Amino acid sequence: FRSGDPSVEPNEPASARKILPQYGRRHRRLPLDGAVRWYNHSAWIQDIWKGCEQMEPLIRIEHLTKTFSSGGDVTALRDVSLEVAPGDIFGIIGMSGAGKSTLLRCIAMLETPTEGRIFIEGADLHALKGKAAIAHRKKVGVIFQGYNLLMQRNVQRNVAFPLELDGLSKPKIRKRVEELLRLVGLSEKADAYPSQLSGGQKQRVAIARALAREPKILLCDEPTSALDAMTTSSILDLLVDINHRLG
């Protein structure tokens, strides 16, 4: 936003200008405590709030610790506890080596925690075995930093790959792939191969593939770290749009 924007006070924080560009100055100046008091006078708002408080978290992590033992003990995660509600966009920030990817891999059941428990929709992941564990893995989609596309497959076959593993019929796979490519804006690239795509387009294919099984959780492991600023912005906008449509 330009500093000359008449709807924005010069001393307002950048976050306020970015998050609330559609509101006038009068709305932004409303004190938060006043807004809360006004809402508390509404009985139906209170009922909705109570319902949200009673809702089971989509993800609940309790005292999670992960230690790697090869070449000496290295503790990547130590006593991590958090909750993520359905529909939330939840960011994990930390320096390189802080354990961000390890935490995501534990949630995706790609790593086994040393201590602690992870619950998804109330189910303890550590207690799941066999088919129950496989079914729960399908609830989690993962977008990797390095795309991890199959170079010998074109775009539509990359997106179709997890559905083929699930044994879906070809008509169902074709329909689902077409829906996903429209969602990420790559319908015209269905027959292209990864080597013919830009970095942003490759990441869009990876996003479509991660959504193929209709997961309830989408884990993004630094999905824009290798992209330029403009492409990063478009990918983040896409993820927010997906959350609004499907979350």
Q: What percent of the chain has pLDDT over 70?
A: 77
Query: Which pLDDT score is estimated for 26?
Result: 34
Contact yes or no for 155/147 (Cβ under 8 A): no
Please give the structure tokens belonging to residue 133.
């564990």
pLDDT at 97 over 60: yes
Instruction: Provide the pLDDT confidence category of residue 29 given band limits of 50, 70 and 90.
Output: very low
Is pLDDT larger for residue 100 or for residue 25? 100
pLDDT digits (tens, 9 = 90+) for 68-84: 987 788 999 999 999 99
Query: Average of pLDDT values for 87-105?
Result: 89
Give the DSSP H/E element, type plus range, for residue 120: strand 115-120
Sequence-separated (6 or more) residues with CB below 8 Å from residue 137: 108, 109
Query: Average of pLDDT values for 223-243?
Result: 87
Q: Which amino acid is residue 67, in one-letter code?
A: T
Q: Which region, left, alpha or beta, applies to residue 191 given φ > 0 means left and ψ of -120 to 50 means alpha?
A: alpha
The DSSP code for 167 is T
| The three-state (H, E, C) secondary structure of 11-67, written as one string | CCCHHHHHHCCCCCHHHHCCCHHHHHHHHHCCHHHHHHHHHHHHCCCCEEEEEEEEE
Query: Which pLDDT score is estimated for 20?
Result: 35
Query: Which pLDDT score is estimated for 120?
Result: 92
Query: Which pLDDT score is estimated for 51?
Result: 56
Query: Which pLDDT score is estimated for 6?
Result: 40
Instruction: Provide the pLDDT confidence category of residue 43 given band limits of 50, 70 and 90.
Output: low
pLDDT digits (tens, 9 = 90+) for 116-139: 999 999 999 988 888 888 888 888
Query: Which pLDDT score is estimated for 50?
Result: 55
Give the DSSP H/E element, type plus range, for residue 176: helix 170-183
Contact yes or no for 220/141 (Cβ under 8 A): no
Query: Which pLDDT score is estimated for 223?
Result: 85
- Pairwise CA distance, residues 179 & 54, whole Å: 34
Q: What percent of the chain has pLDDT over 90?
A: 49
Query: Average of pLDDT values for 46-53?
Result: 53
Mean pLDDT of the chain: 80
CA distances from 156 to 204, 223, 235 (A): 12, 20, 19
pLDDT digits (tens, 9 = 90+) for 149-200: 999 999 999 999 999 999 999 999 999 999 999 999 999 999 999 999 999 9
pLDDT digits (tens, 9 = 90+) for 32-42: 443 443 344 44
Is pLDDT larger for residue 5 or for residue 69? 69
Q: How much is the pTM?
A: 0.72
Query: Which pLDDT score is estimated for 16?
Result: 36
- Pairwise CA distance, residues 238 & 204, whole Å: 9
Give the DSSP H/E element, type plus range, for residue 202: helix 199-210
